[in-house]
């Protein structure tokens, strides 16, 4: 069996969990320790920007301490092989870490943004801020100046907070409409709009495959499912579809 010519892959926390990245929604996850309304909403940032910066600075500092795992590497290999065979494999991720990039994936659509980027938004609507997005490895703070316009006080993590629209939604919908296969990897199926991708894909006749630790809340909507740790089931699935088991 050859690789499907046009694949859209969606990844979630389950892919990074095998690298030791703390998940957000599990009982032991980040949102069990922090109130997401305080650290991951526009209102929380307006009320206490220092707390929000501290929260994301700690996560950004943790990025070099984790490494891509076999699932990230298998996805990067699948993308490269799909392209080599004349197809495509678009990688959409809900993860804000940079592990897909570090595993060799060249194009990653971060629908929830990226810890390794900062954005100049202005401290409040209508105040100075140029909207520039910058690669970012240092801490962010109220005193941080935008490298593009020089404004201070408006730099924020380039991540999507609760109550904000995910990024690249039009591009993702178009990619799903043009796809032959949709593969959901390591996502709970409970967070919209990503949880709706399988329904959109299915309605358009796209084959849908789920690779997850256990059947997700949407498992019934998939044509096929493989269950286990991402670092096991993803490499196995990639070997199978590439025909090199």
Q: Find the shortest distance in angstroms from Cβ 148 to Zn ion.
A: 4
Residue 153 or 189: the one with the smaller Cβ distance to Zn ion is 153
Q: Find the shortest distance in angstroms from Cβ 158 to Zn ion.
A: 12
CA 171, 173, 176, 182: dihedral to nearest 10 degrees?
A: 100
Q: Find the shortest distance in angstroms from Cβ 136 to Zn ion.
A: 13
Say if residues 38 and 48 touch (Cβ distance below 8 Å): yes
Q: Find the shortest distance in angstroms from Cβ 123 to Zn ion.
A: 12
Residue 42 or 62: the one with the smaller Cβ distance to Zn ion is 42
Residue 159 or 234: the one with the smaller Cβ distance to Zn ion is 159
Phi, psi of 9 (to 5 degrees): -110, 130
Which 3 state secondary structure label does DSSP give 60?
helix
Show the tokens assigned to 93. 């991720």
Q: Find the shortest distance in angstroms from Cβ 39 to Zn ion.
A: 23
Q: Find the shortest distance in angstroms from Cβ 132 to Zn ion.
A: 5
Residue 146 or 233: the one with the smaller Cβ distance to Zn ion is 146
- In angstroms, the CA 233 to CA 74 distance is 10
Residue 149 or 242: the one with the smaller Cβ distance to Zn ion is 149
Which 3 state secondary structure label does DSSP give 205?
coil
Q: Which of 157, 153, 80 is nearest to 122 (CA)?
A: 153
Q: What angle do CA 103, 107, 9 make, to 5 degrees?
A: 80
Phi, psi of 2 (to 5 degrees): -90, 165
- Name the residues that contact Zn ion, by CB under 5 A: 120, 130, 132, 146, 148-149
Q: Which of 224, 187, 233 is nearest to 206 (CA)?
A: 224
CA 212, 207, 11, 41: dihedral to nearest 10 degrees?
A: -110
Say if residues 49 and 122 touch (Cβ distance below 8 Å): no
* Residues acting as catalytic residues: 112
Residue 132 or 200: the one with the smaller Cβ distance to Zn ion is 132
- In angstroms, the CA 95 to CA 199 distance is 21
């Amino acid at each position: 069996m050859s690789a499907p010519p046009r694949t859209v892959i969606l990844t979630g926390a389950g892919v990074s969990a095998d690298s030791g990245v703390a998940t957000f929604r599990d009982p032991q996850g980040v949102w069990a320790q922090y109130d997401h309304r305080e650290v991951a909403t526009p209102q929380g940032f307006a009320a206490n920007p220092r707390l929000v910066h501290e929260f994301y600075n700690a996560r950004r500092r943790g990025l070099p301490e984790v490494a891509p795992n076999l699932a990230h590497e298998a996805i990067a290999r699948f993308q490269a092989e799909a392209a080599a065979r004349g197809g495509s494999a678009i990688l959409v991720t809900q993860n804000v870490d940079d592990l897909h990039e570090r595993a060799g994936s060249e194009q990653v659509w971060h629908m929830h943004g990226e810890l390794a980027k900062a954005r100049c938004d202005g401290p409040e609507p209508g105040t100075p801020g140029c909207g520039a997005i910058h690669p970012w490895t240092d801490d962010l703070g109220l005193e941080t100046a935008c490298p593009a316009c020089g404004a201070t006080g408006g730099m924020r993590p380039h991540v999507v907070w609760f109550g904000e629209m995910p990024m690249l939604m039009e591009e993702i919908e178009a990619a799903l409409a043009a796809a032959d296969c949709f593969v959901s990897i390591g996502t709970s199926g409970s967070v919209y709009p990503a949880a709706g991708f399988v329904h959109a894909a299915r309605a358009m006749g796209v084959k849908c495959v789920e690779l997850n630790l256990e059947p997700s809340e949407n498992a019934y909507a998939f044509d096929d499912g493989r269950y286990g740790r991402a670092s096991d089931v993803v490499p196995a699935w990639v070997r199978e579809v590439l025909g090199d088991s």
